[in-house]
Amino acid sequence: MYKIVFMRHGESTWNLSNRFTGWTDVDLTEKGINEAKNAGKLLKEGGYTFDLAYTSVLKRAVRTLWLALDEMDMMYLPIKNDWRLNERHYGALQGLDKGETAAKYGDEQVLVWRRSYDTPPPALDASDERASFNDPRYAGLSKEQIPLTECLKDTVARVVPVWDEELAPAIRAGKKIIISAHGNSLRALIKMLDGISDDDIVGLNIPNGTPLVYELDENLKPLRHYYLGDADAIAAAQAAVANQGKAK
Ligand SMILES: O=C(O)[C@@H](CO)OP(=O)(O)O
């Protein structure tokens, strides 16, 4: 039996102000810092150890990983930053308030933009200063690889190769791995791992800063999964994420 641990970053400044974030590189709030440290404490208390860590190229996930590893006294761990673990690109919605957007376009439309499998939010214009073409962290990518918007299906298409090419071979080789990523890049991975349907994935919401353990069989098929921490608090945090896209 293998284990892999997923972790969404702690609360970010734009989680706090309820803005669509996507590829915008916002940092953690004080609460987010504490969530990341607490995740590290939970992992340490649970006796978890790792050989390898993966994260995105966005600081909210990177810092969450650093803080959790620091709590575990494991800052020596090799860390692989992979842009393909970035949050789903939120297109022209990036920076907008989720509640105000729902008041303007309706809760149903915002739910489609947030959670439908194959309807992307409106795209950024290529000339928009929020586009990532000139960001040095993406310098190795072709223009076609840098999104102007993404639906979850697009995110699945970039996340699944990380699993197939990197994570699955490393797990089979006996490496214990922790992945610090984002609500929707983790939803993409979990959809693939658990074979969740396009309809059912709409209802999956991932709380900030909470370790999610997957136990896998010898073929890397999930046997069971569970969050570490207080079950009621986790359920409340998941419901809060679901409600972020509703008009007040
Ligand atoms: O804004 C975002 O990038 C994501 C994650 O915070 O939000 P949502 O849960 O609305 O997809």
Nearest CA to ligand 1 atom 10: 114
Domain 9-243 has CATH 2.60.40.420: no
In the numeric block, the tokens 């150890």 are attached to: 49
Q: Is 9 a catalytic residue?
A: yes
Cβ-based burial of 189 (10 A; exposed 0-12, middle 13-18, buried ≥19): buried
Nearest CA to ligand 1 atom 11: 114
- H or E stretch covering 109: helix 107-115
89 is in an annotated binding site: yes
Asked if residue 14 has pLDDT above 80, the reply is: yes
Rounded distance from Cα 74 to ligand 1 centre (Å): 29
- Report pLDDT for 15: 96
- Is residue 94 lining ligand 1, measured as CB closer than 6 Å? no
| Confidence bin at 248 (pLDDT 50/70/90) | confident
- Report pLDDT for 28: 98
- Is residue 21 lining ligand 1, measured as CB closer than 6 Å? yes
Between CA 243 and CA 99 the distance in angstroms is 9
Strand order in the sheet with 79-81: 79-81, 52-55, 177-181, 2-8, 211-216, 222-227
Tokens for 75? 């800052």
- Is residue 183 lining ligand 1, measured as CB closer than 6 Å? yes
| Confidence bin at 112 (pLDDT 50/70/90) | very high
| Confidence bin at 12 (pLDDT 50/70/90) | very high
Helix, strand, or coil here: 52? strand
Closest Cα partner for 187 from 165, 221, 212, 215? Answer: 212
Rounded alpha-carbon distances, angstroms, from residue 14 to 21, 23, 72? 6, 12, 27
Nearest CA to ligand 1 atom 8: 114
Q: Dump strand ranges (E) for 42-124.
A: 52-55, 79-81
Average pLDDT over residues 44-49: 98
On whether the CB atoms of residues 39 and 211 are closer than 8 A, the answer is: yes
- Report pLDDT for 74: 98
Average pLDDT over residues 56-66: 98
Half-sphere exposure of 75 (CA within 13 A, CB side): 8
- Is residue 121 lining ligand 1, measured as CB closer than 6 Å? no
Cα–chain center distance at 97: 19
- Report pLDDT for 66: 98
Average pLDDT over residues 60-79: 98
